[in-house]
Structure 1
Amino acid sequence: MTMKVEFWSDIVCPWCYIGKRRFEKALSQFEHQDQVEVIWRSFELDPSSSRVGEDIVESLTNKFGKSTSEVKQMTEQIAALAAQDGLEYRFDLMKSGNSFDAHRLLHLSAEQGLHKNFNELLYKSYFTDGMLVGDLDSLKKIAAEAGLDSAEVNRVLESDAYADKVRDDEARASSLRVNGVPFVLVDDKYAISGAQSVEVFLDTLRKGWIETHPLTMAGNPEDGNSCEGDNCII
């Protein structure tokens, strides 16, 4: 029996990339990793954002009503944290943008068995290389690099294909009262909010596994061939 893990995230979310990396490290240490089904769910932090936005520092300054120096200090702190997980954040290159089409292509990549590679390339391209996440030509380039079928990519971007998949993911998040990402749900029972530590992710995976795979006792403990507390001859 496989264990289902759902991971809600947005490509433009700095904590999501960090959370993704920490979760992947935890999964690599999990004893039953080959029996875990990871489902990546779509979540838009700002569905109303324009396709191609502005400089990220300027955008955050307007959003939070802080000074440019305060925002730069905040982004430097996040970049330093990301570096601890081996990620390079270039806030000087980033620009805000609408991630809806990227999410649609992520659903396509899942159908083609290329989600893991495409998802990672999207994050790296946005946070490290300054990719315009809402630019269709940029998305086509990343999709081709990830091995997605070009004709299918064009078909998706020229239509509303997978829009319902994105909306379904967001509706499920809403039903769970999720208002921030990353958000992870293990077997519909254990939830993790935020980019928690590797240890927290790993502990939750183990709890979920024990819940769905209870131990089966072999032998009779009353046979007297075991030690329990003080009831043992040594």
Structure 2
Amino acid sequence: MKVEIYSDIACPWCWIGKRRFDQALERFAGRDDVEVIYRPYQLVPDAPATASPHRAWLAERYGPQSRAMDDRVTELGRAEGLTYDFDAAQHANTFLGHRLLHLAEAEYGPAVQGVLKELLLKAHFSDGVDVGDRAALTEVAVAAGLDRQRVVEYLAGDEGADEVSALLAEARDLGISAVPTFVFEGQWAVQGGQEVDTFVKVLEQVTADMAAAADASEAAAARRTPDADACADGACAV
């Protein structure tokens, strides 16, 4: 089963959703057959290259209610074992981070990409790291297992930029307007940081639907296969 998770590094619910989905996978009997790939999405694509304090930016955007929004996420995150420090968090453009995630998936595989995603979310929300800064991103990437020199050279140029831009456009074309969004086998989509039990049920339902579709396909193929007795002289009667 292929699961594509559309999310942003600067999305607080994306970290909660990731943690809950990871827990669901641990409980899912078919977890060894599930491939998880993170796809890019930017909540604020026009965020400036220079980082600024998260609290000030959020207050400007949402007004007095912004602190209550942060407090609720902090509480929910704590229940999942996550630490949010919004006083230290930096509002930054996440495009470079998504390029780095693309590199990890392309050259190291989905498992390493998943590790990098977790470290980027922690860096942004817990450690006050500017995830738009190349030097800071390099350190996070190295901690995830990526080669330092490769990352430095990669981030210094534009490699991967076109591919990430295309993936961002693809998300828009798919109608994804909120994250996290979990797409199963390119057919079934679940939006939001659902409860662990919900994710488990979705994984089980998708598995059942895939099995039913495979059975139906085999049955249809059997109906299309001509009987051996009906074949003679290089031609088959159907």
TM-score (norm 2): 0.85
Question: Contact 1:106 / 1:115 at 8 angstroms: preserved in 2?
Answer: yes
Stretches of structure 1 that go unaligned for 5 or more consecutive residues are 217-234
Spell out structure 1 runs of 4+ moving beyond 4 A.
none
Where does 1:25-104 land on structure 2 (aligned, <5 Å)? 25-64=23-62, 66-67=63-64, 70-104=65-99
**1:189 Cα offset (Å):** 2.2
* 1:112 lines up with 2:104 in the alignment: no
**1:165 Cα offset (Å):** 2.4
Question: Contact 1:52 / 1:133 at 8 angstroms: preserved in 2?
Answer: no
TM-score (norm 1): 0.86
Where does 1:144-155 land on structure 2 (aligned, <5 Å)? 144-155=142-153
Matched AA of 1:102: G
What is the aligned counterpart of 1:173 among 171, 174, 178? 171
- Give the SS at the match of 1:52: coil
Give % identity: 37
Matched AA of 1:87: L
Stretches of structure 2 that go unaligned for 5 or more consecutive residues are 216-238
Map of 1:11 onto structure 2:
9
Which digits, 9 at most, give the CA deviation of each residue in 1:122-169, with x for residues without a partner? 111111110001111111111122221112111211111111221222
- Give the SS at the match of 2:51: strand
Question: Contact 1:186 / 1:204 at 8 angstroms: preserved in 2?
Answer: no
- Give the SS at the match of 2:36: strand
Matched AA of 2:152: N
Aligned length: 211
Question: Contact 1:53 / 1:97 at 8 angstroms: preserved in 2?
Answer: yes
Root-mean-square deviation over aligned CA pairs: 1.4
Matched AA of 2:189: A
- Whole-angstrom distance in 2 between the partners of 1:125 and 1:18: 15
Question: Contact 1:118 / 1:146 at 8 angstroms: preserved in 2?
Answer: yes
- Give the SS at the match of 1:178: coil
Structure with the bigger percentage of helix: 2
- Whole-angstrom distance in 1 between the partners of 2:91 and 2:146: 25
